[in-house]
Chains A and B, each alone.
Chain A
Amino acid sequence: MKRVTEKTFSQSFSIVGREFFDAGKVSTEIKTMLKELGVDAGIIRRIAIAMYEAEMNVVMYATEATVTLELSPKAIRIVVDDRGPGIPDVELAMQEGYSTATTEMREMGFGAGMGLPNIKKNADHFRIDSVVGKGTRLEISISMN
């Protein structure tokens, strides 16, 4: 088993938009990696929820995204930086139940309007910056304690 040392461990992943078949792949990879690193199961569960929601947002709305995972003995930090339409009203998007999902997405069980609120609930630190026509940058961190 690998151990988290004082040095920060970092890895990048790519998510491709509209690729529903592969959706959840990056979240699963991150979960497996954290498990191998011996991270607490409760923390992994929170990361898995937040990461899945973030990944699905990219798959549903964006063209592509880069995910950066940083691990230190103190915290896990994840940045999801996408190239996509952006969010015109972040405050509205943060409201539980609000969704812009299409009928097709809803038929697949998405569009509950729980994505961003679920991410926020599971993170100790949450920040979202979006520019319409360019993309959205989501940053979360979860403390190891």
Chain B
Amino acid sequence: MKLKDVVERLHLSVLTGQDRLDQVVTGGYASDLLSDVIANSRPNSVWVTMHIHENIVAVAVLKDLAGIIIVQGRQPAPETLQKAAKEKVVIMVSDLPAFETIGKLSPLFEGGT
């Protein structure tokens, strides 16, 4: 599945990395503890989080994540967007809370990552 398909199915707003939506996504990871994401997320996954501060960008870069989905319609800080644009990290926003966002995301990847 391509990232643009995830964007379409979940009705996400893409704030940065619009030119990277053709990349393949193999799964997802949801957590608001950065150490957990660093330790346990897998490359090419999308990360679902509440966080909007700039430190989420480095986590996505280090783990080769396909992108970050910020939930609850929260708007990232300007520094986050600036950094994400520089590092070519895709930041997307879901208007739904985490539970519903993950609920819609999860069936897209059933049958293995």
Contacts and interface: CB of A to CB of B under 8 A. Distances in A.
Interface of A: 20-21, 23-25, 27-28, 31, 45, 48-49, 52-53, 56, 108-110, 112, 114-115, 118, 121
Contacts of A56: 34
Given A110-B35, A112-B36, A23 B55 contact: yes
28 contacts: A21-B79, A23-B55, A23-B58, A24-B55, A24-B57, A24-B58, A24-B62, A25-B58, A27-B58, A28-B58, A28-B62, A28-B87, A31-B61, A48-B38, A49-B38, A49-B39, A52-B58, A53-B38, A108-B51, A108-B55, A109-B34, A109-B49, A109-B56, A110-B34, A112-B34, A112-B35, A114-B35, A118-B38
Interface residues of B, number: 23
A20 B58 contact: no
Which one of B32, B58, B63 has the greatest number of beta carbons of chain A within 10 Å?
A: B58
B11 interface: no
A142 to B, nearest CB: 15
Main secondary structure of the interface of A (DSSP, over half): helix
A31 B64 CA distance: 11
A20 B55 CA distance: 7
Interface of B: 32-36, 38-39, 43, 49, 51, 53-59, 61-63, 79, 83, 87
Contact of B55 (A49, A53, A109, A115): A109
Main secondary structure of the interface of B (DSSP, over half): helix
A23 B54 CA distance: 9
Contacts of A115: 35
Which one of A27, A48, A109 has the greatest number of beta carbons of chain B within 10 Å?
A: A109
A133 B1 CA distance: 52
Nearest to A108: B53
A23 B87 CA distance: 13
B57 to A, nearest CB: 8
A114 B36 contact: yes
B62 A31 contact: yes
B63 A48 contact: yes
Contacts of B38: 48-49, 52-53, 118
